Structure 1
Amino acid sequence: MSTALRQPPRTSLFLPASNARAIEKARGLGAEMIVLDLEDSVREEDKARARTAAVAAAEEGFGPRLVAIRVNGEDHGCHGEDVAAVAPSAADYLVVPKVETAELAARVAAAGKPVLAMIETPAGVLAAPAIAAVPGVEGLIAGVNDLRATLGVPADSGRAGIGYALQAIVLAARAGGGWALDGVYNALEDAEGLAEDCSAGRLLGFDGKTLIHPNQIDIAARAFGPSEVEIAEAEALIAAATGGAERYRGRMIETMHVEQARALLARR
């Protein structure tokens, strides 16, 4: 993977490509990436129309926001048509659901569009390092709802039962050199719960959060962006560093810590 030229999105909003009103509204929202969905949120009879709408919406663009299109899975009849339509489109990324093998990731990546692979099953978690290593795969997305379902974890059990899987996704993404995006939070009216979920994701090392409603954007953006305290500390550390290992505010720092501080400031 290689995403060095782009900052990972702190907020990635999924919306059904069959919903013209939602697409238009998204152009005025603060999400850093818009993910036009052709899969779960679109009824079977609307699949073809949604595909056409997604390609057209990507061509029109969403201002400074990144644009991705999630295709249907490899076991769906629309998968091939989806990939063929998205590959030459103006979308920045092609999102593939339920990726369980490096072979699938490689087949989709061969179409020429950078791929974000969703890891949603035990097989996907175990294969995540190989998936992340495929040329053209530029990030992994945790599919928390399907992970809970396929692991037999209660849907309302929080993150405890999928903690190992989430950490494995981050580890695989980092080993491959790409992004790791945290899964969605289903309780649309639970702002406090969302903030806690985002904080837990950031502590695991995720770059940002995938979202399913506009009212989640601001909370996730704050959680995955540096606080004023963190910014001030990073600036002070960089200013104080003179090279090599040295004492700084009662602790030892070295070049690695300076690089971490600069990376944090780049996320402002």
Structure 2
Amino acid sequence: MRFPLLGVFAPVRPAPPAPATPGDVLARAEDVRVLLGGRPVLDGVDVTVRAGEVLALVGPNGAGKSTLLGALAADLPVTGGVIRVHGRPATDWSAAELALRRAVLPQSASLSFPFAVEEVVRMGRAPYAGTPLEDEDDPVVAEAMARTEVSGFAGRPFAALSGGERARVALARVLAQRAPLLLLDEPTAALDLRHQELVLRLCRERALAGDAVVVVLHDLGLAAAYADRVAVLRSGRVAADGPPRRVFSDALLSEVYDQPVEVLPHPRTGAVLVTPRRDP
């Protein structure tokens, strides 16, 4: 006769969050302060991230954009204030629970082992291991690779790819994670013109599907074209926050970037164009 082992339980896997409604607050920074090396990098930052929106974080080098993204991801501890993810302080979530709620794309992607491209993308499905959603891994991975145009080299080693190809594979991993909050740090930095547009279109598509997307960008033209809102950071503070048409102005951007900037309407569409002022 066999007796069940007392006190032995299967681990309980956290459940994915319920689908968000457009406008729901999925992340919030409240009076957030961060010190790095004894230096204040963020100083009293308030930012709200809503489902159905693309929020672009822009500003000059050293303004605190990547630090703010890391804080929103709960990857970087804050010195003061609070980061909330899905309404709760980020520190209240376990790592497994966070993995179901937010997906993070860092500035650079590097791996120590010779993983193939498809294996890297499949890493995004790790939060669903041992759950019924694991059955969706194959179609989700295939879709993410197709959307980022990396299916053609699925079997190649990740380390053998160009910088732009690696960036797209890393984005595919984030998309495969299917988290409702996407946090992307300079996803277009290594990409050519075509793939910059592809990545920002994917951001818009995810927002239209109900996700919240936060993206760090240096290209103000891309931010104006694709973001619902922009937060302009300067010296660790938010200098302006709102729709690009309202926030982007010659005066503000020239002051923030310490460079004369012109904000113009596109001659055909009227969309906002941002360009450095280059006098003859």
TM-score by length of 2: 0.37
More helix by share: 1
- Please tell me whether Structure 1 or Structure 2 has the larger radius of gyration of its CA atoms: 2
TM-score by length of 1: 0.39
